[in-house]
Structure formats: C-alpha cells, structure tokens
C-alpha cells in the first residue's frame, strides 16, 4: 500500500490565534503612543501659529514704524480684550486696524498668561522686557510648550513652563 501525503494549505487555528495575539499586543503598545503624538502635534500647531503671528506683528511694527499689538480679541473686536485668553482667539492690531486674526486654539489647549498684550515698538522690539507664553493641555506641565520672546523681539520655542 502506498500512503498518500496530504499537502497543507492555509493556516492552522493555532497559527491564526498567535497572529491575532501578536497584533493585539502591538496595538496595545502603539495606540497610547499614537495618542500622545497627536496631542503633541496639536500643541506644536498652536505654538507655531502664534510664533508666526508674533513674527508678523514684529515685522509690521518695524515696517509701519508704529507700535503694533498682539492680544486676545474675538472675531468682532478691533481692540484688545484685557481679560481674554489668547487661546480663545487673538489679533494683531495697529491703532484701530486689525492686521491679522488668529483663530481660537484647538479645544483643550490653553495659552497663558491671561489678558496679555504683546506690544512691539517702531523698531520691532518688545515694549516691556521679555514675554513667555505657555501652551498647555490636559496632560499638564510635563507636556507643555513655551514660546519665549526676548527684548529684541526674537521668538524661540522650548523650555519648562508652568500651566497654572
């Protein structure tokens, strides 16, 4: 008698279960890291938008040879809101002219300090000392970003900040 050999085709149940288990473990490790990356991206997006607005305000002050303000303002205002949060929306203002509107930051992102006006003189320098803006989310100060503006008006990103 001759024995017939049977060729296997496909996967066995054990092989399929092992594959599913490996995929589940990889997803369990990867998804929290992915969420952290998305949150970091949102903070960076807000910080970069304000960095661009700060540089624009500085350039306009120098070009116009007048004081230009970057401050919190809602979409209908042509004046700074002294008690507003920059995260609710901001504007670059020269006199009564709104030069640029910055939309509200994504939900959950807060920009501190509250009620600040960043003012550049006719030479593109900060009117008062230096300023640090904190970009915070629900993760707290460990994940926060800082934008620092020195007296000459140059902006840098990084450093430790407080979110309170």
Instruction: Give me the pLDDT at residue 40, please.
Output: 87
More confident position, 86 or 58: 58
CB 143 within 8 A of CB 37: no
Asked if residue 1 has pLDDT above 60, the reply is no
- Which residues partner with 71 through β-bridges? 91, 117
| Residue 39, number of CB atoms within 10 A of its CB | 17
Binning pLDDT at 50, 70 and 90, where does residue 68 land? very high
Which has more pLDDT, 65 or 6?
Answer: 65
Q: Rounding to the nearest 10 degrees, give the CA dihedral for residues 9, 10, 11, 12.
A: -50
pLDDT in tens, 89-119: 899 999 888 899 988 888 889 888 888 889 9
Summarize pLDDT for 25-50 with one digit per residue, the tens: 887 887 777 888 888 888 889 999 99
pLDDT score of 138 more than 70: yes
Residue entry with tokens 């008062």: 128
Beta bridge partners, 147, equal 133, 157
Three-class DSSP category at 69: strand
């Amino acid at each position: 008698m001759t024995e017939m050999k049977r060729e296997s085709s496909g996967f066995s149940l054990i092989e399929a279960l092992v594959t599913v288990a490996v995929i589940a473990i990889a997803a369990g490790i990867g998804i929290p890291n992915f969420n952290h990356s998305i949150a970091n991206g949102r903070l960076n997006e807000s910080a970069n938008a304000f960095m661009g607005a700060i540089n624009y305000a500085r350039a306009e002050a120098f070009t116009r040879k007048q004081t230009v303000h970057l401050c919190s303002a809602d979409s209908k205002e042509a004046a700074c809101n002294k008690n507003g949060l920059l995260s609710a929306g901001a504007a670059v203002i020269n006199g009564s002219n709104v030069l640029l509107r910055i939309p509200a930051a994504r939900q959950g992102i807060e920009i501190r300090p509250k009620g600040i006006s960043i003012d550049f003189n006719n030479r593109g320098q900060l009117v008062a000392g230096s300023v640090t803006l904190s970009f915070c989310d629900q993760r707290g100060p460990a994940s926060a970003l800082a934008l620092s503006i020195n007296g000459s008006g140059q902006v840098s990103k990084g450093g430790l900040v407080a979110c309170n």
